[in-house]
Amino acid sequence: MSHMVEVGFKIKNSLLESEKILLDNGYEEYFKTQTHDIYYSKVSMEGLTERQMKENCIRLRHSGKFFYFENMHLLNEKYDRKVHITFKDLRDYLNELYDNGFDVVFDTYKTDWVYTKGSKGCQLQDIKDIGLLNYHFDQDITDLPSDEQFNILKNNLLEMGFELEYEYGIDKLSSLYYGKLVFSKDQNVDYKPNRK
């Protein structure tokens, strides 16, 4: 059974320096956007891992002209996991969330630039209150153990010329919730968070 490690390395390089590194290493721009994510929940986030936080929140994403909710089945099973909406309908959905006890847990803004090269990709996310993270992935290594994937991804970034600020990845939601950086090797598994 394959599993893709998800880890966001905080990098010292600027966004433009990072783009140059990727282009010089044969990556191509896939898309660039600004994203506003608001996470709603009626569950306490205390003690939850990054993955558990994501699973217990409904996310409203606004990117460009698009609005959609994810995890809407948490509100009502009649909804698909992902529901695309228009700006005109937004108020009705938000009222339904609030009427059912959901409240805002996280409100995040980020610049999101994505680059690909074959089975590999890098997602540069400049996240308000966290900084610039590089989410690197490689679909060809998902059958390897998580620790091995983590080491390959980290070494790939270093070999391309990225300067990592920390040895481990940053968990975005956990860091925002606890008000200090939370580190891990993979956001997609449960772990005991390392808070610094």
CA distance 126 to 155: 21
β-bridge mates for residue 112, sequence order: 33, 125
- Residue-wise over 85-95: b if at least 16 C-beta within 10 A, else e? beeeeeeebbe
Of 2, 25, 6, residue with least CA distance to 173: 6
User: Per the structure block, which two tokens stand in for 134?
Assistant: 């590089």
Q: What is the pLDDT along the chain (196 residues), one digit of tens a residue?
A: 578 888 899 999 999 999 999 999 999 999 999 999 999 999 999 988 888 999 999 999 999 888 999 999 999 999 988 999 998 999 999 999 999 999 999 999 999 999 999 999 999 999 999 999 999 999 999 999 999 999 999 999 999 999 999 999 999 999 999 999 989 887 766 544 444 4
- Please check whether residues 22 and 40 belong to one and the same domain: no
Q: Which of 107, 126, 160 is the last residue of a domain?
A: 107
- Please check whether residues 137 and 187 belong to one and the same domain: yes
State the amino acid at position 3 in one-letter form. Answer: H
Residue 70 lies inside a defined structural domain of this protein:
yes
β-bridge mates for residue 17, sequence order: none
The count of structural domains within the chain is: 2
The domain in which residue 128 lies consists of: 8-33+110-195
CA-to-CA separations, 160 to 15, 83, 151, 157, 164, in angstroms, rounded? 15, 38, 14, 5, 11
Please check whether residue 127 is in contact with residue 110, taking contact to mean a CB–CB distance below 8 angstroms: yes
User: Per the structure block, which two tokens stand in for 36?
Assistant: 């506003």
pLDDT for 149 equals 93
Residue 167 lies inside a defined structural domain of this protein:
yes
- Please check whether residues 175 and 126 belong to one and the same domain: yes
Residue 37, CB half-sphere, CA atoms under 13 Å: how many? 20
Q: Which of 55, 88, 107 is the last residue of a domain?
A: 107
- Please check whether residues 136 and 168 belong to one and the same domain: yes
- Please check whether residues 50 and 127 belong to one and the same domain: no
User: Per the structure block, which two tokens stand in for 3?
Assistant: 């599993």
Residue 3 lies inside a defined structural domain of this protein:
no
- Please check whether residues 70 and 115 belong to one and the same domain: no
- Please check whether residues 170 and 115 belong to one and the same domain: yes
Residue 12 lies inside a defined structural domain of this protein:
yes
- Please check whether residues 85 and 127 belong to one and the same domain: no
- Please check whether residues 163 and 173 belong to one and the same domain: yes
